[in-house]
């Protein structure tokens, strides 16, 4: 028994590669499962770097997030159904956030040049006050936008924008109504109370 133990210790002593404070480290072979994990991680790392960083085949988190946002916006926009532009339908659209968001996009790209980004007016009249040249009721605003006032410099938009965008931008303009932005153009037309919206 005693001899056995000594031989074990001396065999082990051969393998000790260093000893610090009585803790001995042996020169053991690394287990295969460990080695495979290690080499696998390196191979994965190289592959990952190639796919996302070097060749950029895969989308970055920012890109895939943007793609999802675009998809969601498109899905929402296609959910907006347009029928007849009745006062009720327009009032309902004005309460629909995705219709209003689409309308805002249209307004910024198409209308802001003449009505200012916030609707305060420049070439075209102020859309944020209570005064209207062609009526401030939802269906009247829609008609002005859809058919325009060609001889006064307001183009007809329905032929260019189509029904959906024309109604959506009407919904957005209905929300501008009565916001009375600072520095807006002086009132033009007849006063109509905000409560008529």
Q: Given the rule CB under 6 A, which residues bind ligand HEC? A: 107, 110-111, 113-115, 123-125, 127, 132-134, 141, 144-145, 149, 152-155, 157, 169, 173, 188-189
Indicate the residue among 73 and 156 with the shorter CB distance to ligand HEC: 156
Give the shortest CB-111-to-ligand HEC separation in angstroms: 3
**Distance in Å, CB of 145 to ligand HEC, minimum:** 4
Q: How far is the CB of 122 from ligand HEC (least distance, A)?
A: 9
d(CA 131, CA 128): 9
- Residue 40 or 159 with smaller CB distance to ligand HEC: 159
Nearer to ligand HEC among residue 98 and residue 128 (C-beta): 128
User: Least separation, in Å, of the C-beta of 53 and ligand HEC?
Assistant: 44
Q: How far is the CB of 180 from ligand HEC (least distance, A)?
A: 14
Measured from the CB atom, the residue of 52 and 140 that comes closer to ligand HEC is 140
* Alpha-carbon span 153 to 123, nearest angstrom: 9
Element (H or E) spanning 76, and its range?
helix 61-79
Which residues, other chains included, contact 19 with Cβ-Cβ below 8 Å and sequence gap of 6+? 25
Closest CB to ligand HEC among 94 and 115?
A: 115
> Is the distance from CB of 146 to CB of 136 less than 8 angstroms?
no
- DSSP alpha helix (H) spans, 80-149: 87-94, 97-106, 112-115, 138-147
CA separation for the pair 51, 45 (Å, rounded): 10
154 close to 104: Cβ distance less than 8 angstroms: no
């Amino acid at each position: 028994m005693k001899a056995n133990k000594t031989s074990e210790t001396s065999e082990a002593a051969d393998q000790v590669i260093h000893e610090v404070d009585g803790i001995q480290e042996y020169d053991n072979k690394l287990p295969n499962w460990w080695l495979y994990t290690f080499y696998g991680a390196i191979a994965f790392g190289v592959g990952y770097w190639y796919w996302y960083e070097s060749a950029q085949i895969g989308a970055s988190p920012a890109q895939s997030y943007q793609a999802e946002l675009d998809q969601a916006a498109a899905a929402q926009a296609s959910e907006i159904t347009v029928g007849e532009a009745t006062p009720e339908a327009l009032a309902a659209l004005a309460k629909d956030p995705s219709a209003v968001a689409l309308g805002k996009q249209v307004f910024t790209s198409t209308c802001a040049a003449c009505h200012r980004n916030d609707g305060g007016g420049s070439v075209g009249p102020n859309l944020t006050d209570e005064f209207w040249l062609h009526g401030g009721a939802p269906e009247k605003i829609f008609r002005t936008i859809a058919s325009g006032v060609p001889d006064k410099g307001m183009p007809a938009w329905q032929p260019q924008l189509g029904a959906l965008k024309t109604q959506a931008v009407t919904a957005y303009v209905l929300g501008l109504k009565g916001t009375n932005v600072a520095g807006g153009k002086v009132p033009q037309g007849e006063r109509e109370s905000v409560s008529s919206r």
